[in-house]
Chains A and B, each alone.
Chain A
Amino acid sequence: MEAKQDKQDSPTPAEEARRLYEEAEARTARAMEGVVGRDAFGELLARVTENVLAVVKMGNDAADLVVRNLRIAGRRDITGLARQLARTEDKLELVLQEVERLRDAVEQPSVNGAKPPARGTDDGRRTTARPRRRAEPGS
């Protein structure tokens, strides 16, 4: 009876193999985390990053030289144009905020003819105001 109970409790070979595998995996994971946590690994990573970037830089410079000599717009030119657009958008945003501030000030009825205070600042402070535009459906 007791022997039968022992047989039921003891793991099957498949279960035992699985347990051993999971133990090995967990040990490997811990060991690898130990490796990547060492100073030497950090140093190696820094050097490898530097090497990869140096190669990328040489490749980029060479590609740029070829593209420029072919008189066609390269990545740098397109980035330059996109940056100009982004700066224009920055200015437009500031103008829009100023317009909204003025609109809110005009719409707020003044008391005793006093000039209404400006509402909202560019650091996020804001008093209740209308949304700039209606929400667009389906985004």
Chain B
Amino acid sequence: MSAVEQLARYPVAAVEFANIILTQGDATIGATPKDVVWTHRKTTLYRYRSDHRRHALPVLLVFALINRPDIFDLRPGHSYVEYLLDEGFDVFLVDWGVPGDEDADMGLDSFVCDELAWAIRETLRAAEQDELSLVGWCIGGTLVAMHAATAERSPARNLVLLTTPVDTSGSLYGKWVGRESFDVDLVAEVLPSIPGAGIDWANKMMKPVTNWWTTYRQLWDRVLAGDGRREAYQAMARWVADNPPFPGRAYREWITWMYKENRLVSGRLRLRGRRVDLRRIDQNLLVVTAGADHIAPRPGTMPLLDLVASEDVTHLDRPGGHIGLMAGSKARNEIWPEIAEWLAERSDK
């Protein structure tokens, strides 16, 4: 390419770059057809349509209280839900919705003992099964672990925990919000629902240059080279920018119990009077950690492997980030098949 041609590419690339950024809100995400099975408050349980369910046990996907669960079904052709359906699973997803100020009274117990427990109940009713597999990601994984460690007899046969924070000691987030001077009670008092944008800002602040500069620089480079990968970028950017609020009480409990007092790993966490004892987890367990995860770093998940009573424990540690591991371009050929295979071996009657 001559220097003149190269120079002429810049205005074209600039228009294309601006267009990708400005129209990212129109990206298609969470498009796999699904039906509403059950709703309560802001929580909705979905069942994905499929005509070739092969495995008896339904799979219930549980995402974090920050960001939306659409990451499980990011875009057509690159969707974990789509992949599981193709593999013959009966897939359900619990969506926590967008909490408002009126949900400020919802604590971690509401999510673990009510919303999740009831979503499990409705999943089993809809699938007409006695057992299921739970797949939790990030805080969703912690909620799943809390459920399995609290419920008298959980119907979960298999637990898959993806980049799940369990022990927060030494984490960067713990350094910020775990300190005494961070007044989480004041935060929850002033903001009945913590704005998602604030939490997103904090998450991005952990790697400021990467999140606020390198991402855009790399997009510019790709556009200039004529390979903008528009669909992939826009779907992820739209998902990243969609930050629902965090209910005030749940936020206060999450920060206090997980980061200030690190109760879960030390067995001092109680929900509705019941001790959350990770040693009670006896399900088949698959723990997935990401080597470059800065939000739930691997050392914060590893203690779980020593605590649980499960006889069937598998740990997969793969290169990738907190989200990139499961939603990145390599996920479809690398981590998804491994998880599906693990589930398939344990999902029949």
Docked-complex contact A45 and B176, CB < 8 angstroms? yes
Q: Check B213 against A82 for contact (C-beta < 8 Å).
A: no
Task: Give the residues in chain B near A90, CB-CB below 8 Å.
Answer: 40-41, 114
Query: Closest B-chain residue to A39, C-beta based?
Result: B175
Task: Please tell me if the beta carbons of B129 and A37 are within 8 angstroms of each other in the complex.
Answer: no
B122 sits at the interface (CB 8 A):
yes
A36 in the interface (beta carbon within 8 A)? yes
Q: How many residues of A contact B (CB 8 A)?
A: 48
Partner of A60, one of B128, B181, B190, B207: B190
User: In angstroms, how far is the closest chain A Cβ from the Cβ of B260?
Assistant: 12
Is B101 a contact of A37 with CB atoms below 8 Å?
no
Of all chain B residues, the one with the shortest Cβ separation from A127 is B130
Tell me, in angstroms, the Cα distance from A37 to B151 when the chains sit together.
37
Cβ contact within 8 Å between B151 and A123 = yes
Q: Cβ of B155: which chain A residues have Cβ within 8 Å of it?
A: 124-126
Chain A: CB-nearest residue to B34: A139
Do residues B126 and A131 form an inter-chain contact, with CB atoms below 8 A? yes
Q: How many residues of B contact A (CB 8 A)?
A: 59
Among A123, A131, A135: residue with most chain B CB under 10 A: A123
- Are A36 and B172 closer than 8 Å at their CB atoms? yes
**Among residues 4 to 58 in chain B, which have CB atoms less than 8 Å away from a CB atom of chain A?**
33-38, 40-41, 44, 46-47
Inter-chain contacts of A83 with B (CB < 8 A): 102, 105
Give A124 to B182 CA distance when docked, in angstroms. 36
Query: Is there an interface contact between A135 and B36, defined as CB atoms closer than 8 Å?
Result: yes
A33–B204 alpha-carbon span in the complex (Å): 11
A113 to chain B, nearest CB (A): 26
B225 within 8 A of partner (CB): no
Q: Which residue from chain A places its CB closest to the CB of B209 in the assembled complex?
A: A29
Query: Could you say which of B33, B37, B192 contacts A79, with CB atoms under 8 Å apart?
Result: B192
In the bound complex, do residue B128 and residue A129 qualify as a contact, i.e. CB atoms below 8 Å apart?
Answer: yes
A25 to B208, CA, bound (A): 12
State the CA gap A84–B315 with chains docked (Å): 45
Pick from A75, A79, A126, A129 the residue with the most CB of B within 10 Å: A126
Chain A 81-102 per-residue mask, 1 if CB under 8 angstroms from chain B, else 0: 0110110011001000100000
Flag whether A110 is at the interface (Cβ < 8 A): no
Cβ-based interface call for A128 (8 A) = yes
User: Is there contact, CB below 8 Å, between B117 and A129?
Assistant: no
- Whether, in the assembled complex, A117 has its beta carbon less than 8 Å from a beta carbon of chain B, the answer is no
Q: Is A49 an interface residue (CB 8 A)?
A: yes
Given contacts A82-B100, A132-B125, contact A122 B117 (CB under 8 A): yes
> For window 81-129 of chain B, which residues contact chain A by CB distance below 8 Å?
100-105, 113-114, 116-118, 120-122, 124-126, 128-129
Task: Indicate whether A125 sits within 8 Å of B154 (C-beta atoms), given known contacts A25-B213, A89-B40.
Answer: yes
Are A46's CB and B120's CB within 8 A?
no
Please name all residues of chain A whose beta carbon is closer than 8 Å to the beta carbon of B125 when the two chains form the complex: 126, 129-132
**Interchain CB contact under 8 A, A131 and B103:** no
CB neighbours (8 Å) of A89 from chain B are 40-41
Cα–Cα, bound, A56→B194 (Å): 13
Residues in B neighbouring A132, C-beta threshold 8 A: 38, 122, 125
A42-B179 contact given A93-B40, A128-B129, CB 8 Å threshold: yes
Q: Does A28 sit at the interface, judged by CB under 8 A?
A: yes
In Å, the complex CA distance between A90 and B115 comes to: 10
Q: Which residue of the partner chain B has the closest CB to A50?
A: B183
| A136-B153 in contact (CB<8A) | no
B36 engages A139 (CB within 8 Å): yes
Contact B128 A128 (CB under 8 A): yes
Q: Are B181 and A43 in contact (CB under 8 A)?
A: yes
Determine if A123 and B172 form an interchain contact, defined as CB atoms under 8 angstroms apart: no
In whole angstroms, what is the CA distance A124 to B125 when docked? 11
A89 to B103, CA, bound (A): 12
Task: Assess the A37–B182 pair: CB atoms within 8 A.
Answer: no
Given A36-B208, A83-B105, are A131 and B121 also a contact pair (CB < 8 Å)?
no
Given contact pairs A25-B214, A97-B118, A128-B129, a sample of 13 additional A-B residue pairs in the complex whose CB atoms are under 8 Å apart: A42-B175, A42-B176, A43-B179, A45-B182, A46-B176, A56-B190, A86-B103, A120-B121, A123-B117, A124-B116, A124-B154, A131-B122, A139-B34
Q: Which residues of B contact A (CB under 8 A)?
A: 33-38, 40-41, 44, 46-47, 100-105, 113-114, 116-118, 120-122, 124-126, 128-130, 147, 150-155, 172, 175-176, 179, 181-183, 186-187, 190-192, 205-210, 213-214, 217
